Structure 1
């Protein structure tokens, strides 16, 4: 999956999980660790429900006898539930009315990861078990296996996410919050971690560039705007869109406000302003907005395009002004509207 395609899918999943989380589904997620002396889980589960093997500690496979025994167990096992004879097996049990809907969404979410990415959270399981066994016997060869089913991958990722943010909660039998909310938080963190670093991606002097489009937005809308910019960049090419993170090194200077006002006022054919409550509260947005207002005053309205997320009052913007609704249109669609405007200009 390409980076751009992955971002689109993550944004789609965020919207879907957000919608489901708002409905407060009846759904619980329990985890159980079963050892060789315990073959069943002694409790009834509400319907509908779904159980899945997440990982297994097979044991030490350092001898011919252990390898032979493992091979025999492997051939005689229902791999849906893991390899028979494993020393430890961790199962995830989902129950409640939200189960069926979550399963569909979780399988899509689990498909986001490449093999190398899944190793990041698989390695946590491996390391914990291996460290424990190696303390007992430094010469041991502990063997661990994880389930590569997309659902298991997503549930293992959620447990990994919890371990990074709430280290003790991962050891609970019942995992909180509910799976839709937990998935939403994990996806939002995923987007935050993948946000472009503050680095200068251009070797061209900023003051020498004439941009096709410049975007003005508050940080709260960066995820959405970043996706719009990705779509624009694929069509317009390098140094055609002013997006702050692409020129961060050149902006880090005294009198950056003057530099930015020139970019928005003089160096850009089209300025796309992402309006919302946060926009009116940010100092830097206010500086950029001054350049926009002067263009409106000079009757250069065709150089301005509004994308709105709410009805917040912005000085100089009125209810009669036309805009694209950012709550209805996806970033890809907004990018196509921007391209249409640029072609007209």
Structure 2
């Protein structure tokens, strides 16, 4: 039986479970999924105390004749919320107007009219009156971020949104946004093999009082050793050098995580998650990873990572894993500027 999952306060007074659930894994981007099994996994997560559920309007399967995000992942999660809304802290996102993993995946909008229409569409699909945490998924680079966040702040004033978040923003963008409205959370990729945010974004989040929500905390499954060439070939990662061309070269990272797991009686996933929480303590800000899975068993495994403790020597060895990584975290279907590292200024020396 999993011990009760504790809560933690992010920024702006938002309290969530110490580990969240990434809903994107329940859609077809990582291969075919079964809606019934997906809903059972969601209910199991909440049963375990993993009540911070993350989705986005762009997650899910495209529909013929639908212009923009189809929102099928939000519709799936709406079935959970219909019975358990009061138990869930719900986060969703807007801003990407093309299919994730598709040719139009890099298209973005952040104008005031779109902010409002996207929020209304998400509320309708989710079947709720208010979104707990509303993220700008990707900013439209030719619109000042202050303008987009200003439109989001109007939604808070109107009671349609409780808290604001930003995904894949630079430190400069985050500071500018926080002047307009408090930012509860920054969501960016952060894991043992994706650490660029530590240079500037993580310190900026601490500075403005935002929490950090790492997505893909298990390296899209690679750090667990579960990603085989066959599984990769059937997912949106099939053209990604880090997973395909460098598959064998990156196995030493997996071997290191496994070795430390054997030392402390933990799975590779639990080691990777424990390392992230330790990083949050080192940087002085709340960190709430949102691993995704289709398996109730994995939900339990991930939640039990909260019991795992790494000593200084183990953390030091894991810190060195970054030097073993081949390939960067950019995805082939995106354009330059898609992740914060593309736009981030070099750290001053």
Q: TM-score, normalised by structure 2?
A: 0.24
TM-score normalised by the chain length of structure 1: 0.25
Query: Relative contact order (C-alpha < 8 Å, sep 6+): which is higher?
Result: 2
Larger-gyration structure (1/2) = 1
